[in-house]
Chains A and B, each alone.
Chain A
């Protein structure tokens, strides 16, 4: 197929990664540094009671208290990961930021679809790998510092995946939650494609304005339609009950995600070497 050739796509993906690898390595270094500093802040500056605790209490107490402190670093790690993913989504087309880069990328003998998927894979998959890798390395460095300074060894990374084994969340609810997360991400992908400058700032402003409007609308919905958003899911005894509006909103989220990606791709196909000052049109 002219629009997508697997061999060409593979070569292009490898080529783009090799050409941009220095900037990814630099980003990995920056992320590791930021997360390592945050780890040190939470375990050394924000909480200074380790020595007193170790002196006055037993190992179990030290272990459980320090676990709570380390848990803060894992919360920071998760927040940082979300931020990095949104940031990555907004800088989807960072290789198109000026005329020189744009002309080289657009004239590359690779189809628009392949170029678009390459950008997506870099800004989503590679960004996720880099952020998780930086998080792991920062955690390892913090553990190393703890080991050198004689503290107990507690890894923060596994805490990020802690789920309550007692609580069985239904698949539908997870589908809805993922839909919401991917919806926000797709919104930043669209913003990153549309805006030429300050993509993260402008997309965030548009997102916040939209969010405020939706909250206002949902508050009014009780009055106008006699419908309370809280009624979408109810929990009786051990069972969840889903209202038809729940299904509607779940479908709506995934529909909007598809539309956002499609619009973003269309914008990319229509992109020119010299565009509007603020928008990529």
Chain B
């Protein structure tokens, strides 16, 4: 479990705090979607969780260990797929062989399955791959490490259309009971179907911290024609299919599929 308690953080040389008295608890066996406008601290939060940044106040504990100490026993349970990364000038097979010993739960089977899903093989030379292919190779390795905590910063950026659905398949297939995945993204449609918990960040605080089932219990997401618009509509946006609306869900109403973009705009506008 990850426990963020009352943290404050600001970057060196900046006056404004990115987080101020921020609290968060992340449970196991969940796929969190971390959403927020630019500059609200999504990547900063991932860095703080993984120990790459040290809060100026408060604590970030990963399974009871302070993350900023970067204890190797904690680090072997964490993998962060950053938005931009650099891979060495070697083959993926060699990369996997060299880094495998540091991840006790590393699975060759998972690596091969993920690579198969992404239509790649182990023999690829990492420096000869395109950005999207590098990302797929790196994400396959990340999945194969079987770390307890997997953080992904904009994982679908740079992926082509088929790769985005392959990405969803890879995540869904390799989700285990003791694993926690956090996906920070602006490309909400790419991950909408994957997530089971939504976190929306806005200037130092959490605007929303709710499971998808809580959200779909509370709201319905649907399209309505202008004639169907009434007082029950909480938020609406015009679209080609009519107005995309959020309404309060009443007893007996059928559960609807979450529309993350609409929810995000609704929540951020409301606050």
Residue ranges of A at the interface with B (Cβ–Cβ < 8 Å): 2, 5, 8, 11-12, 14-15, 18-20, 22, 98-104, 106-112, 114, 270, 272-277, 281
Residues of the B chain whose Cβ atoms lie less than 8 Å from the Cβ of A114: 72
How near does chain A come to B6, taking the closest CB pair, in angstroms?
20
B12 contacts A276, C-beta separation under 8 Å: yes
How near does chain B come to A167, taking the closest CB pair, in angstroms?
49
15 A-B contact pairs sorted by A residue (CB < 8 Å): A12-B102, A14-B98, A15-B102, A100-B82, A103-B80, A103-B85, A107-B50, A107-B75, A109-B102, A114-B72, A273-B47, A275-B12, A277-B12, A277-B13, A281-B12
B54 within 8 A of A: yes
Which A residue's beta carbon lies closest to that of B82?
A103
Residues of the A chain whose Cβ atoms lie less than 8 Å from the Cβ of B51: 106-107
Beyond A107-B78, A110-B75, A272-B53, list 4 extra A-B contacts (CB 8 Å): A8-B101, A8-B102, A111-B71, A277-B12
Residues of the B chain whose Cβ atoms lie less than 8 Å from the Cβ of A99: 82, 84
A111 contacts B88, C-beta separation under 8 Å: no
B89 within 8 A of A: yes
B90 within 8 A of A: yes
Residues of the A chain whose Cβ atoms lie less than 8 Å from the Cβ of B47: 103, 272-274
A15 contacts B71, C-beta separation under 8 Å: no
In the bound complex, what is the Cα–Cα distance between A100 and B78 (angstroms)? 16
Q: With contacts A11-B102, A103-B52, A277-B13 known, is A20 near B70, CB below 8 A?
A: no
In the bound complex, what is the Cα–Cα distance between A242 and B167 (angstroms)? 73
In the bound complex, what is the Cα–Cα distance between A6 and B206 (angstroms)? 43
- Enumerate the 4 nearest inter-chain pairs by beta-carbon distance, A residue then B residue, closest first: A109-B76, A273-B52, A109-B75, A19-B88
How near does chain B come to A26, taking the closest CB pair, in angstroms?
10
Across chains A and B, the number of contacting residue pairs, with CB separation under 8 Å, is: 84
Which A residue's beta carbon lies closest to that of B102?
A109
In the bound complex, what is the Cα–Cα distance between A277 and B88 (angstroms)? 26
How near does chain A come to B255, taking the closest CB pair, in angstroms?
39
How near does chain B come to A29, taking the closest CB pair, in angstroms?
15
Residues of the A chain whose Cβ atoms lie less than 8 Å from the Cβ of B86: 98, 100-101, 104
B102 contacts A272, C-beta separation under 8 Å: no
Q: Which of B11, B70, B94, B98 is in CB contact (< 8 Å) with A274? A: B11
B103 within 8 A of A: yes
Residues of the A chain whose Cβ atoms lie less than 8 Å from the Cβ of B94: 18
Residues of the B chain whose Cβ atoms lie less than 8 Å from the Cβ of A102: 52
In the bound complex, what is the Cα–Cα distance between A103 and B47 (angstroms)? 9
In the bound complex, what is the Cα–Cα distance between A103 and B82 (angstroms)? 8
A107 contacts B76, C-beta separation under 8 Å: no
B70 contacts A15, C-beta separation under 8 Å: no
How near does chain B come to A18, taking the closest CB pair, in angstroms?
6
Over the window 203-215 of chain B, the binary record of Cβ atoms lying under 8 Å from chain A Cβ atoms (1 yes, 0 no) is 0000000000000
In the bound complex, what is the Cα–Cα distance between A99 and B12 (angstroms)? 15
Which B residue's beta carbon lies closest to that of A10?
B101
How near does chain A come to B129, taking the closest CB pair, in angstroms?
15
A2 contacts B71, C-beta separation under 8 Å: yes
In the bound complex, what is the Cα–Cα distance between A14 and B50 (angstroms)? 25
Which B residue's beta carbon lies closest to that of A101?
B86
A109 contacts B72, C-beta separation under 8 Å: yes
How near does chain A come to B79, taking the closest CB pair, in angstroms?
8
In the bound complex, what is the Cα–Cα distance between A109 and B102 (angstroms)? 6
Q: With contacts A2-B73, A110-B72 known, is A15 near B78, CB below 8 A?
A: no
How near does chain B come to A24, taking the closest CB pair, in angstroms?
12
A108 contacts B12, C-beta separation under 8 Å: no
Which of A8, A106, A112 has its CB near the most chain B CB atoms (within 10 A)?
Answer: A106
In the bound complex, what is the Cα–Cα distance between A5 and B76 (angstroms)? 14
Residues of the A chain whose Cβ atoms lie less than 8 Å from the Cβ of B78: 107
In the bound complex, what is the Cα–Cα distance between A272 and B48 (angstroms)? 10
B53 contacts A273, C-beta separation under 8 Å: yes
A19 contacts B90, C-beta separation under 8 Å: yes
Which of A20, A100, A103, A270 has its CB near the most chain B CB atoms (within 10 A)?
Answer: A103
In the bound complex, what is the Cα–Cα distance between A114 and B94 (angstroms)? 22
Which A residue's beta carbon lies closest to that of B104?
A109
Which of A109, A274, A277, A281 has its CB near the most chain B CB atoms (within 10 A)?
Answer: A109
In the bound complex, what is the Cα–Cα distance between A11 and B47 (angstroms)? 26
Residues of the A chain whose Cβ atoms lie less than 8 Å from the Cβ of B52: 102-103, 106-107, 272-273
In the bound complex, what is the Cα–Cα distance between A272 and B90 (angstroms)? 27
B54 contacts A270, C-beta separation under 8 Å: yes
Q: With contacts A8-B102, A15-B98, A19-B98 known, is A100 near B70, CB below 8 A?
A: no
How near does chain B come to A173, taking the closest CB pair, in angstroms?
43
In the bound complex, what is the Cα–Cα distance between A143 and B54 (angstroms)? 56
Which of B94, B95, B101 has its CB near the most chain A CB atoms (within 10 A)?
Answer: B101
Residues of the B chain whose Cβ atoms lie less than 8 Å from the Cβ of A12: 102
B13 contacts A276, C-beta separation under 8 Å: yes
**Cβ < 8 Å to A, chain B residues 53-112:** 53-54, 70-73, 75-76, 78-80, 82, 84-86, 88-90, 94-95, 98-99, 101-103
